[in-house]
């Protein structure tokens, strides 16, 4: 059998890259600007992360202080359903605030870990990867902190304007009928009840029985 290259096959041609056009001054300036951006992007991201962390911290501190000073300070004065909603919102706000703080700290100071020297990429590549991770942590931290602030505002709003818990009422049975209302006071043998029709005064001598009720019929 014949061996070797068949005479019918075309000879292989080797293509060599040709030099491109010479660089123009704007190309050199663009390359220098790009190199400068890559060299400083990590420090710029971390500076921005520190500024965002401080600003969002002040915002949250102001919201917490405002919520403690104004409005109701005890959720027990709310209805059980409203109190449960406030508790859920506060728990979600705590989780969102904790995650936002961790992400902002990650963006500001990096990850607290030790990297094997042999696995480190080249310097510019390593700094670029760290800048991308810090920017991603900054975006997540901002979103989580804003969510925390929104949840806090919702919880404080419910404590301000939520439905109050109904006060315990007293059902008083007299010889002429029954009167139900909240106790306004007792003075000189007279029991004063706040009823739906206004304040009602009842002589204690005429009371045949009384019992507490959750709400008036």
Same domain for 88 and 147? Answer: yes
Mean pLDDT, the chain, integer? 76
The pTM (predicted TM-score) of the whole model is 0.61
The span from the CA of 45 to the CA of 180, in Å, is: 67
Same domain for 106 and 150? Answer: yes
Q: Which domain holds residue 44?
A: 31-111+122-161
Same domain for 42 and 141? Answer: yes
Same domain for 157 and 179? Answer: no
Same domain for 194 and 103? Answer: no
**Predicted local confidence at residue 118, as pLDDT:** 61
Same domain for 128 and 176? Answer: no
**Predicted local confidence at residue 128, as pLDDT:** 77
18 falls within a domain:
no
Domain count, the chain: 2
54 falls within a domain:
yes
40 falls within a domain:
yes
Helices (H) and strands (E) in the chain, counts: 3, 5
Burial of residue 196, with CB atoms counted within 10 A of its CB: 0-12 exposed, 13-18 middle, 19 or more buried = exposed
The span from the CA of 136 to the CA of 132, in Å, is: 6
The span from the CA of 77 to the CA of 159, in Å, is: 9
At 40-68, the pLDDT tens digits run 777 888 888 888 888 888 877 777 766 55
Same domain for 84 and 155? Answer: yes
Same domain for 175 and 153? Answer: no
Under 8 Å CB-to-CB from 124, ≥6 apart: which residues? 38, 39
The span from the CA of 128 to the CA of 166, in Å, is: 61
């Amino acid at each position: 059998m014949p061996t070797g290259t068949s005479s019918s096959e075309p000879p292989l041609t080797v293509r060599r890259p040709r030099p491109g056009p010479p660089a123009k001054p704007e190309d050199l300036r663009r390359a220098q600007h790009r190199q400068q951006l890559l060299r400083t992007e990590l420090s710029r991201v971390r500076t921005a992360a520190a500024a965002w962390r401080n600003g969002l911290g002040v915002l949250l501190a102001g919201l917490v202080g405002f919520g403690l000073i104004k409005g109701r300070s005890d959720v027990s004065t709310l209805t059980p359903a409203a109190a449960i909603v406030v508790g859920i919102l506060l728990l979600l706000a705590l989780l969102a605030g904790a995650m936002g703080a961790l992400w902002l700290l990650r963006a500001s100071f990096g990850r607290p870990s030790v990297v094997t020297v042999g696995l480190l990429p080249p310097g510019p590549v390593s700094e670029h990867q760290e800048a991308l991770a810090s920017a991603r942590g900054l975006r997540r931290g901002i979103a989580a902190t804003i969510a925390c602030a929104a949840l806090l505002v919702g919880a404080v709003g419910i404590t301000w304007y939520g439905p109050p818990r109904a006060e315990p009422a007293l059902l008083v049975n007299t010889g002429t009928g029954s009167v139900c209302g909240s106790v306004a006071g007792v003075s000189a043998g007279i029991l004063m009840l706040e009823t739906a029709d206004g304040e009602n005064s009842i002589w204690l001598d005429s009371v045949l029985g009384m019992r507490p009720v959750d709400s008036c019929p």
